[in-house]
Chains A and B, each alone.
Chain A
Amino acid sequence: EDQVTQSPEALRLQEGESSSLNCSYTVSGLRGLFWYRQDPGKGPEFLFTLYSAGEEKEKERLKATLTKKESFLHITAPKPEDSATYLCAVQAVESQGGSEKLVFGKGTKLTVNP
């Protein structure tokens, strides 16, 4: 069964304290891995797409990386406004039938204290 696991479930950081969020996956036929940010009471907002192992994408204080089994979202010198839930999603091809699907992880809730 295709699975996407995010860790930790919750993370508290002090402003300026860098850290990483993890997204591990077991899927066949990876098409792409996506990171989203979700603020309370809002819909997820797209951040990055990664397609192949070794790829990296950056946006402000965020950098996403991808290996064959996991992705990391690195947060450098976070600010309180980076507080949100970060979701990982993997697009894969079904082993039977060949149709595509998108599997979401449960998210990591990040809190950055001033």
Chain B
Amino acid sequence: NAGVTQTPKFQVLKTGQSMTLQCAQDMNHNSMYWYRQDPGMGLRLIYYSASEGTTDKGEVPNGYNVSRLNKREFSLRLESAAPSQTSVYFCASSSGTGFGELFFGEGSRLTVL
């Protein structure tokens, strides 16, 4: 039972480069989320999708875009990476249409030089 799968696990980018973080869940969950985790800051919500076809901004959406490709997949794109986006990114899912018990992936560690 894979749960929530994120790729890649590690990535190093140069300032200005673009990349997409991929996330897939196999639990038939309705809602999916992207968080970033920084030392001393806790988990902060970037974007979320309460259902297939909908996306909403979270607390820190600037510099990011998302796509809810289908019920299983939710991707996060950095169009022009900045050093401030160096972080660990977590994808999560939940069965309802709004938060509740979240199931997290193992994280993607991104470094922007």
Which residues of A approach B to under 8 Å, CB–CB?
31-32, 34, 36, 41-46, 49, 87, 89, 91, 100-102, 104-107
Contacts and interface: CB of A to CB of B under 8 A. Distances in A.
A82 to B, nearest CB: 19
Contact of A107 (B42, B45, B98, B103): B42
Interface residues of B, number: 19
Q: Which of A43, A49, A105, A106 has most B Cβ within 10 Å? A: A43
Contact of A41 (B43, B45, B99, B107): B107
A interface secondary structure, majority: strand
B41 interface: yes
Contacts of A107: 42
Nearest to A105: B42
A32 B90 CA distance: 21
Given A43-B104, A45-B104, A91 B43 contact: no
B43 to A, nearest CB: 4
